[in-house]
Amino acid sequence: MRRRTIPMGILVLLNLYAAAASAPSSPYGGGSGVIAFDTERGGNSEIYSITWDGSNETNITHSAAAEFNPDWSPDGCRLAFERTYGAYTEICVTNADGTDAKRLTFARLADCSPDWSPDGTRIAFYSKRDGNNEIYVIGEDGADEIRLTECPADDSYPVWSPDGERLAFVSDRDGNPDIYTMSVDGTDLARITSDEATDWLPAWSPDGSRVLFASERDGNSEIYVMDADGGNPIRLTDHPAADYSPTWTTDGLHIVFGSKRDGTPHIYVMDADGSNPQRLTNGSNGDYSPDWRP
């Protein structure tokens, strides 16, 4: 019997169509519509995920150690996060489903707040390994670690600009925590906030034109947005409870954030202008540090 064969070009097209049909897509926010966050709902802090509407809650890490501050890789296939090893935290990465977890840093001190570079090859973080918090970059495989800042003050919470050319971070080098940017080699430092209150937790917009941040400049922690050079700061939330940890959705039309407005810390989403806030998580334990999957 003669077998029918399908030309290779058609097979490739069929595979591409199948991949596109099965790839996760979100009617809200762009990207996959999945949010990673850390939570204490299992008894210790672990990395969970939910979909954009708050459904499909999934424990990703399933670890006896405590994990914090998840950050999706640009392709959405992996997560970087902090994991405790005794009294200290180190930077780790894992596949999106929690498999193949790997430890990248071994400083035996506080290595915190990982953030992937836009090309997926490097991870920025801050560490006390040299006595005070400084900004470092490491390869996604744990190689080629570089220290970027060298200041007697504390530098923390680095985040890459979408074009990979700059890092925003928090520093108290001028007396109180403010937002700064610098080139990815540690040069060309620019201070972009200068309020007497604490400004922290920056997040670049997907097009790089704006930066979200949390600030206590109006009495309690609220979420603000400003131009990338620090101009035109606008307050987005106005609530007597603390709002913090803002992050953009892939399409830049919405903002996911943490808040204590209902008593227990939970994850919320709102439009990019601060309107229409909606609560996504529930339960009696705290939910923190959301990050939208590309």
Residue whose entry in the numeric block shows the structure tokens 């890789």: 73
Give the model's pLDDT for residue 11.
Answer: 35
Between CA 159 and CA 113 the distance in angstroms is 9
Residue whose entry in the numeric block shows the structure tokens 């006896």: 64
Going by C-alpha positions, the residue among 18, 25, 119 that lies closest to residue 75 is: 119
Using DSSP, how many helices (H) and how many strands (E) does the chain show? Answer: 1, 24
Is residue 90 a contact partner of residue 82, using CB atoms and an 8 Å limit? Answer: yes
Give the model's pLDDT for residue 25.
Answer: 61
DSSP-derived 3-state class of residue 250:
coil
Helix (H) or strand (E) holding 15: helix 8-22
Phi and psi at residue 16, to the nearest 5°: -65, -45
The residues, any chain, with a CB within 8 Å of residue 121's CB and separated by 6 or more, are 139, 140
pLDDT per residue rounded down to tens, the chain (294 residues) = 333 333 434 333 333 333 333 345 677 899 999 999 999 988 899 999 999 999 999 999 999 999 999 999 999 999 999 999 999 999 999 999 999 999 999 998 899 999 999 999 999 999 999 999 999 999 999 999 999 999 999 999 999 999 999 999 999 999 999 999 999 999 999 999 999 999 999 999 999 999 999 999 999 999 999 999 999 999 999 999 999 999 999 999 999 999 999 999 999 999 999 999 999 999 889 999 999 999
Give the model's pLDDT for residue 17.
Answer: 33
Give the model's pLDDT for residue 7.
Answer: 41
pTM metric for this prediction: 0.90
Domain locations along the chain: 34-292
Between CA 168 and CA 214 the distance in angstroms is 13
Out of 3.40.109.10, 2.60.120.10, 2.120.10.30, 2.40.30.20, the CATH code matching 34-292 is 2.120.10.30
CA angle 96, 127, 186 (to 5 degrees): 95
Give the model's pLDDT for residue 43.
Answer: 86
CA angle 185, 186, 192 (to 5 degrees): 125
DSSP-derived 3-state class of residue 217:
coil
